Amino acid sequence: MDRGLLTAWVAGYERAWRTPDGPELDRALARLFAPDASYLTAPFERPYVGLSAIGQMWRSNRQGPDERFSIAPEVVAVDADRRSGVVRLEVRYGEPPSQVYRNLWVVSFDAEGRCTAFEEWPFWPPGSQGSYAHGPG
């Protein structure tokens, strides 16, 4: 694991979020996540475990492949020995943006570069309303 691989994984995550529902999305998720991966949408939330659960969560929390958003990721740290890293993102929805939030991702990988554990720490601007299981971040 290095910064380049983590950056490439984040780009694959964004591409998958923009992928139409169906077998193509299932294949994209299988490239990103190990079969028994866990996906935590916020601290203290119950994780989604396994590709099926992660896929169902994605499908129920996105507007579809045409959802208008942008993400600006920055790799903050990588631990090659543990095959893990931390990414900070700013996510903007709509054009012009109607919702903005920042997010930290803590991500661990297997030897094939698939995520085994994904943990989000989402933050919204003061006075705005956020949702823990919404969006690409």
Task: Residue 88: give its domain's CATH number.
Answer: 3.10.450.50
91 found inside a domain: yes
- Exposure letters 36-51 (e unless 16+ CB within 10 A, then b): ebbbbbeeeeeebeeb
Q: Count how many domains the chain has.
A: 1
Entry pTM: 0.88
128 found inside a domain: no
Q: What is the mean pLDDT of residues 13-27?
A: 93
Q: What is the pLDDT of residues 30-53, one digit of tens each?
A: 999 999 999 999 999 999 999 999
48 found inside a domain: yes
8 Å CB contact between 89 and 107: no
Q: Which domain holds residue 93?
A: 3-123
23 found inside a domain: yes
131 found inside a domain: no
Q: What is the pLDDT of residue 129?
A: 64
